Structure 1
């Protein structure tokens, strides 16, 4: 199963600091295979997900944009997240193939063959390159739906952990028409990029057969509302607002879990 990684800290590294051999291995090419993608979505939606999980409760699917550039930003609680997000937001729901940012180690061998043909593209979380950022921006500028786990790793609790800054910087670069690694006038164009917060909750920390899942999909954040100041300040503000949105969705699940519903007798 694929472990998706997410928002990189783009302030740490660029392609200038990466060895040539790593740059070759880190080639960010991906495409959606026209026959494999529909087959995998079909198998996942109608067989794998219903057979493995107990109840799958979803709220807020009306918040998913069916067109235009969007980043889906889920909390990361298990490797199953990478299969549940296509189940609740993929082609069977929105008509869209999702493009996942995955760790570079998951793009090797046979698994890597499948990942790339399902639209995945690699990032080295320790040495995120300009080419990765550029590829993510290009996907958004082409109107794609990109999945990035902003916490950066799997956390088994239901707390929202500090988000990585890469997701906000990527969104702002795409929205303003910037080309990472090149000189580009700020605000050259506005795309209407949206970030959709998604909170995933499992009935047990390590999902096993019969585990119940609840997925809350929040209202999209309009990236265009974060372009009035410097990129650094606006990225920080966007990250803060995304954190609050994820916390609100997670708190919503906690309230539902703790709430005692009155039992009403039948008849």
Structure 2
């Protein structure tokens, strides 16, 4: 993968060497979740669809080996309690002093623009006190347009911003105005790092339209 994706990394020193950290960034295509763990010295844990590790046959076993080995934790996100399960999983990872990677948009961008963030990111940082390190994937959509098929080799940039902390909002993880403010501030930094156009709409709504 290092040979296939000639990755330029900027700001890697912004990731603390120990303790809980939330990596929050944009999501352009499927290979984002392959490249992020590749460029970090510490293991990055992230939520993935449980179907990635339940496949049958040689292909299914290979996918399960790859995703679990790269730090993915399978969760049934489509179930009635999928959102709660994902949130609690992230909280557990952070309370263990590890890195949790998350895409606040909740899904891949349908057109390369940056969409409104879900407030789960805010709840996680307020519940755990973990700093948020924003990041931007640049160029992955050119290597795997639409997220379909095998990606082609090429240059990718991963840019990390300075850690953001929200201790001033401690104990306010149920205040929806605070959650929105925290989420929007993280997304504003992701937008600055990525240079993407921002759309004040959820990506899922844009896809449905």
TM-score after normalising by structure 1: 0.61
Matched pairs, number: 182
The one of 126, 138, 143 equivalent to 1:201 is 138
Q: Would you identify which runs of 4 or more consecutive aligned residues in structure 1 move more than 4 Å?
A: none
SS of the residue corresponding to residue 222 of structure 1 reads coil
Match of residue 107 from structure 2 = 153
Q: C-alpha offsets along residues 107-164 of structure 1, whole Å, 9 cap, x if unaligned?
A: 3132335433543212333331544332321211110101111111122644211112
Match of residue 170 from structure 2 = 227
- In structure 1, stretches of 5+ residues that fail to align are 1-47, 176-192, 255-267
Q: Using a 3 Å threshold, how does the CA distance of structure 1 residues 250 and 118 change in structure 2: closer, same or farther?
A: closer
Match of residue 12 from structure 2 = 61
Q: Using a 3 Å threshold, how does the CA distance of structure 1 residues 228 and 130 change in structure 2: closer, same or farther?
A: closer
- In structure 2, stretches of 5+ residues that fail to align are 56-60, 145-150, 198-209
Q: C-alpha offsets along residues 17-57 of structure 1, whole Å, 9 cap, x if unaligned?
A: xxxxxxxxxxxxxxxxxxxxxxxxxxxxxxx222x23x422
Q: Using a 3 Å threshold, how does the CA distance of structure 1 residues 215 and 117 change in structure 2: closer, same or farther?
A: closer
Q: Distance in 2 between matches of 1:60 and 1:245?
A: 14
Q: Which has the higher strand share?
A: 2
Q: Distance in 1 between matches of 2:85 and 2:7?
A: 37
Larger Rg: 1
RMSD over aligned CA atoms reads: 2.4
Question: Alpha-carbon deviation of 1:238?
Answer: 1.0
Match of residue 75 from structure 1 = 26
Does residue 49 of the first structure (1) align with residue 2 of the second (2)?
yes
Q: Using a 3 Å threshold, how does the CA distance of structure 1 residues 174 and 105 change in structure 2: closer, same or farther?
A: same
Q: Distance in 2 between matches of 1:130 and 1:137?
A: 10
Q: Using a 3 Å threshold, how does the CA distance of structure 1 residues 101 and 142 change in structure 2: closer, same or farther?
A: same
The one of 158, 174, 182 equivalent to 2:128 is 174
SS of the residue corresponding to residue 212 of structure 1 reads strand
TM-score after normalising by structure 2: 0.76
Q: Using a 3 Å threshold, how does the CA distance of structure 1 residues 78 and 65 change in structure 2: closer, same or farther?
A: same
Does residue 102 of the first structure (1) align with residue 48 of the second (2)?
yes
The one of 60, 64, 72 equivalent to 1:120 is 72
Contact kept in structure 1, 2:136 and 2:158, CA below 8 Å: yes
Q: Distance in 2 between matches of 1:221 and 1:202?
A: 25
Q: Distance in 1 between matches of 2:157 and 2:70?
A: 25
> Whose relative contact order is higher, 1 or 2, with alpha carbons under 8 Å and at least 6 apart?
2
